[in-house]
Amino acid sequence: MPRRALITGITGQDGSYLAEYLLSLGYEVWGLVRGQANPRQSRISRLVSDLSFVYGDLMDQASLVSAVDKVQPDEVYNLGAISFVPMSWQQAELVTEVNGMGVLRMLEAIRMVSGLTAPHRGTEAGIRFYQASSSEMFGKAAETPQSENTGFHPRSPYGVAKVYGHFITKNYRESFGMYAVSGMLFNHESPRRGAEFVTRKISLAVARIKLGHQDKLHLGNLDAVRDWGFAGDYVRAMHAMLQQEEPGDWVIGTGAMHTVRDAVEIAFDHVGLDWLDYVVVDPDLVRPAEVEILCADIKRASAALNWQPTVTFPELMRMMVDSDIQQVGREHEFGDLLLAANW
């Protein structure tokens, strides 16, 4: 029998790469999709015939119980979230509901379908659960690089909700003996990244400027430092975390630090343009509370999971610019992306 995985957030960047990866490993892959969302119009449109879908929403407990009961998965990857940090100041309650309480709802669905009651230990044979935690939880971190032992100081409602998701995952592991892991992933990008995130906003703008469709690129804090990796690499780590003998918490990143300014420079350089001629710093795009510096210490993950990133940051930015130069030619398909790129 093939192993069966249920992915929430399958229409997102990570969901699309994870679905591809699990299919390549021979998994039967199910995606939780919301309401009238049509996977055929999303990032996974090419995969639709190889996937199965079940309706559900992280805001709706009963729908999650039904989904888990119907799919009877071996592994659940909870990637669903409102993932754009600035949105969390505008809709703090909604983001808390989806990104925080949504994790509890999914754990409860697994607990109910598995018939687990506290106190309970040793359910290794049960459903394995992956929670998409985030380096945003480290926020204003007391140390750099950040490891599994670094304390949390989230700086946004998004980060606070993710801290709740992290601890409730850990708590269900400790309370019910669930195989539940928290992957604390640092920023990861790809040509499939949403256009509101800074790397994609830059790659799309560079492509548009190069092709004569845009004049300027408005950005916020150019000094922010991130540890950016390639999403295709990070989904391998998610899967590896669920194959360990014991569940745990893991930090995944590259260990390399770059500023937003570096990203801009690499991208404009790649098409032979000087970024100083095009970038405008817009104070409205600076966040109410910024995370200034994030960098992962991946010693534990690289040793125990045998995991390494394969794409450097300059390679990643160039990959995204090349892809967007191809895509911008088909502008009519990107009306929504261009709108989002005004963030």
> Partners of 55 in the beta sheet?
33
Instruction: Give least dist CB 293 to ligand GDD, A.
Output: 9
Site for ligand GDD contains 197 (CB under 6 A):
yes
Considering only 134, 150, 169, 182, the residue that binds ligand GDD (CB under 6 A) is 134
Determine the Cα–Cα distance for residues 82 and 79; give it in Å rounded to an integer: 10
Choice among 136, 189, 196, 265 that is catalytic: 136
Q: For ligand GDD, give the closer residue by CB, 55 or 84.
A: 84
| Per CB under 6 A, 187 contacts ligand GDD | yes
- Rg of the chain in Å (alpha carbons): 20
Least distance CB 224 / ligand GDD (angstroms): 3
Would you call the peptide bond into 145 cis, given omega within 30 degrees of 0 as the criterion?
yes
CB of 157 to ligand NAP, least distance (A): 13
Determine which one of 158, 164, 179, 234 is catalytic: 158
118, two tokens:
């506290």
Backbone angles phi and psi of 78, in degrees to 5:
-95, 85
Interaction mask 83-122, ligand GDD, x per CB under 6 A: x-x-------------------------------------
Q: How far is CA 142 from CA 2, 147, 227, 306, in A?
A: 44, 11, 16, 28
Residue 201 CB-half CA count within 13 A = 17
State phi, psi for 149 to the nearest 5 degrees.
-100, 0
Question: Which residues sit at the interface with ligand NAP, rule CB under 6 A?
Answer: 8-9, 11-15, 34, 37, 42, 57-59, 79-83, 98, 132, 134, 185, 187-188, 194
Q: Read off the tokens for 343.
A: 């963030």
Check: CB of residue 22 under 8 Å from CB of residue 5. yes
Any residues with CB less than 8 A from the CB of 86 and at least 6 apart, and which? Answer: 156, 287, 343
> Distance between CA 159 and CA 146 in Å, rounded?
15
The answer to whether 214 contacts ligand GDD (rule: CB under 6 A) is: no
**What does 260 interact with, of ligand GDD, ligand NAP, none (CB < 5 to 8 A by kind)?**
ligand GDD
Among ligand GDD, ligand NAP, none, the one that 278 touches (CB under a kind-dependent 5 to 8 A) is none
Quick count: other Cβ atoms within 10 Å of Cβ 91?
13
Whichever of 136 and 233 has its CB closer to ligand GDD, that residue is 136
158 catalytic? Reply is yes
Q: Which residue number is nearest to ligand NAP in terms of Cβ? A: 12
251 near ligand GDD, rule: CB under 6 A? no
Q: Identify whether 134 is a catalytic site residue.
A: yes
- Within 10 A of 38 (CB to CB), how many other CB atoms are there? 12
Q: Taking the complex as a whole, how short is the minimal distance between the CB of residue 175 and ligand NAP, in angstroms?
A: 23
Q: Which residues are catalytic?
A: 134, 136, 158
Q: Which residues bind ligand GDD (CB under 6 A)?
A: 83, 85, 134-136, 186-187, 196-198, 201, 219-221, 224, 226, 260, 285, 287, 290-291, 294, 343
